[in-house]
Structure 1
């Protein structure tokens, strides 16, 4: 694409596969939670170009993304990943907490049973 390529922010977020639908991308853009180069975006029609930096919430994370290119379609994941550079800082994971939905191990179940028995005796 040419250097002066531009695209609506909601369409770019959708093409880069940050949101499943363009409607969700437009909702985030118009909600005021999206920043373009540090300034709040108030409309989903705001245009982005290569070199711009986007900051927005996605799930429980805050994403910081640098626009590398403007796409022509919503293609497969490898094509979408070529559209941006992820600048999101690594968020530390609490290793002491079990993973969501993880069942306790056999050792953990046995320790819990022994604690219950000792409390009853």
Structure 2
């Protein structure tokens, strides 16, 4: 972890958006994640508190605001402290 940020792959894994760190790296390197509107195409891109991420996942695209940077993988019940969902791109389609 840097002084005020965290690698995107570690953030995805720590916040339980990806099952493994290897999967988190693949998700980041595909280039489909957006952070504050800019395309992320490398696993070592840094995210910070307050950043808004758009992350494509199997259940649909999730848009979320980072609330805190975890030091390690958090239990599922504490995920709400890590990020706040803003919207889901598949809302209203059903």
Q: TM-score, normalised by structure 1?
A: 0.69
| Cα deviation code 1:7-47 (max 9, x no counterpart) | 00010011110110111111111111111110001111000
Alignment of 1:62-81 (within 5 A): 62-81=61-80
Larger Rg over CA atoms? 1
Q: Secondary structure at 1:23's aligned position in 2?
A: helix
| Structure ranking higher in helix proportion | 1
Corresponding residue of 1:91: 91
Runs of 5+ unmatched residues, structure 1: 95-121
| Cα deviation code 1:85-108 (max 9, x no counterpart) | 1012461253xxxxxxxxxxxxxx
Q: Give the aligned length.
A: 91
Higher RCO (CA-CA < 8 Å; seq separation 6+): 2
Runs of 5+ unmatched residues, structure 2: none
